[in-house]
Structure 1
Amino acid sequence: MAGVTTSFRQVPLTCPGHTRPVVHLHFSDVNSEGQFKFISASKDAKPMLHQGTTGDWIGTFTGHKGAVWGCCLNKEATQAATGAADFSAKLWNAHNGNELASFAHKHIVKSVDFSQDGTRLVTGCNDKLIRVFALESPKDESSLSLKGHSEAIKSAIWIADPNLLVSSEETSDIKLWDVRTCDVVREIALPGPVLSIELSKDISIITISHSNGVTFLDATSLETIKSYQQPPSCGKVNSASLHPSKSHYVTGGEDFKLYKCSYEDGKETESYKGHFGPVHCVRYSPDGHFYCSGSEDGTVRLWQHTVGETYGLWKNPHENGANSN
């Protein structure tokens, strides 16, 4: 944080457009020109694509007929995927917004995630099934089905190994699956009900929010690296995200606030209140300069990692720029 004083006030940027709660966020990677995008999912059935550094609206994917619960972009931001209460997951062209494919399910789709190479899509559904779709021929709706959950699935994401994924329901366990055999190869117990799962940008760490805490797992061995509890006053931790440098993580939850904490010891370094409802999702930008939050109040807000830095629409009147750590 060299060159940046602590006297600056955090001024979040607000991304309007959604008319109902925002429940999921996902970023693409940074491209060769330093640009990236993010997508927001909302109960208004209208997932939106945003310019990464400013949050500006690019377009809306239209076609779902129910609340959109999950969303993701591939690394290049050329394709998007969404899962919704209309019992479908959809694949989109992220350049023009056209629907490329719609995958029918038997219940609400809560989670979608692209594989690291972008050739497969995993979905998690309220019918307790995980499905894996090959995207080389997206019109072909054939899929693998992974059976083993006893409740509706909350999250399902690919991890470092291209043949493995992890999933959760709203219990304290996560499951590790091998898609080659469709079997559960390991179950890991967490300190409380699992609320969100995120894979770090370097695909080395899995960040899990649960009850009123956060646990970090090694993405290869699935051994616990660190586990921290938030103060009871914070309430339920709905979401957590790790900074790309692994210096800090942020959480959001039932008390409307965002907490930035040290990854080294879990101590709170900053906290901010700007939403007018519970925070449902938080995600760090891939360049680490800011984090996004989505809330019950229907807004997406962007928060600076290093307050006072000149970046995007944020301007520091006292200097030309500063570096984030």
Structure 2
Amino acid sequence: MDVVVASSSIEAGIGCWDLHTGAEQLRYKLCASPPHGLVCVGQRFLASSQLREPSASGSVQYWSWSKPQVDVKSFPAEQIKPLASNSVGTYIVGGGLSGNIYLWEVASGRLLKKWHAHYRAVSCLVFSDDDSLLISGSEDGGIRVWSLLLIFDDFRRQQQSQLYEHNFREHTLCVTDVSQDMVEAMPLSCLRHWIAHVWSISKGKLLRDIVFPTIVDAIALDPGEHVFFAGGRDGKIYVAALNAESTSDSKYGLHIIDCFSNHSNAVTCLVYSISGNCLISGSEDGMVRVWDAKSHNIVRVFKHAKGPVNNILVINSNFLR
């Protein structure tokens, strides 16, 4: 059983629904999260950075599964935008407006590492499947791959001219989303100028560019089908070929093989549920839609309390008890 968790950029709380029955679960209060600012930590609790004015101090809030009120609130040195947690929930990393990345130990709350990662604000963060790498995107247009072994090895860090394993950079526009293919080990970056770049981590090079007919803000991978879904500002969801061998051309553009839509506003976030074989999308229209990944038919619709939806997670409901 899976649960869909969604947050908004305004004080609308965190909505929670049973993916299979559509029943609404506990609603968590007092949350205004930035994009990529909501994370499930080790399947134990929720954490969210808070969207505030640039001059205001930053905070990160934590909720246990059983209580709607905020359990713990922390105040980092600066405002944090994206958050990520490794799979077992040992660490939380956050990206700051300054371009710094912070790494905290969950058990103690201690700041273990801090490094200057980008020239401008960090916009998105994701761990590799084996938790050995951290991939960061920034408003400066850069995507960098960090080895946690190097980050924690102070002696090796002193010997290195730079900390990152790879530095992928094509232009200076903001990186809006980063995902990783579980099969090919490729990070896929979605950028704010109608183009998605597919990079190879192992080779450290660009594999292909895919141009969309609209600005794209969110991506989700379908590892079984070797395609990915891209959420557009036009309210549509595009399906693009991920394999380097695929050269399909359609009315939507090279490598874009399909398109479907029911959102009235921009699609802001996407997540793929492997267990349910479905795609979940959030939009500025305040709706969360669940799609059959094969037929692209709508399975069910959830209404957030108010305001745009900008983060979606899918969590196994066994951990909510």
**Both structures adopt the same fold (TM-score exceeding 0.5):** yes
CA deviation map 1:204-226 (0-9, x unaligned):
76443222122455666696797
Give yes or no for the alignment of 1:110 onto 2:123: yes
Match in the other structure for 1:43: 51
Give yes or no for the alignment of 1:166 onto 2:188: yes
Is the alpha carbon distance of 1:276 and 1:263 closer, same or farther for their aligned partners in structure 2, counting shifts above 3 Å? Answer: same
- What's the RMSD between the two structures over aligned residues? 3.4
Alignment: residue pair count:
277
Match in the other structure for 1:142: 163
Shift of 1:237: 0.9
Match in the other structure for 2:292: 262
Match in the other structure for 1:240: 270
Equivalent-residue separation in structure 2 for 1:240 and 1:184 (angstroms): 23
Shift of 1:245: 2.3
- TM alignment of 1:125-204, pairs within 5 A: 125-138=138-151, 140=157, 142-143=163-164, 144-160=166-182, 164-199=186-221
Counterpart code for 1:111: C
SS of the aligned residue for 2:149 comes to: coil
- TM alignment of 1:13-32, pairs within 5 A: 13-18=26-31, 20-24=32-36, 25-27=38-40
SS of the aligned residue for 1:242 comes to: strand
Give yes or no for the alignment of 1:214 onto 2:214: no
State, as a whole percentage, how many aligned pairs show the same letter: 16
Unaligned 5+ segments in structure 1 are: 2-7, 30-34, 290-309, 314-325
Equivalent-residue separation in structure 2 for 1:58 and 1:244 (angstroms): 30
SS of the aligned residue for 1:234 comes to: coil
Match in the other structure for 1:80: 92
Equivalent-residue separation in structure 1 for 2:311 and 2:178 (angstroms): 15
Moved more, 219-228 or 40-49: 219-228
SS of the aligned residue for 1:136 comes to: helix
Whether the 8 Å contact between 1:91 and 1:99 is mirrored in structure 2 is: yes
TM-score by length of 2: 0.72
Unaligned 5+ segments in structure 2 are: 2-20, 53-57, 247-254
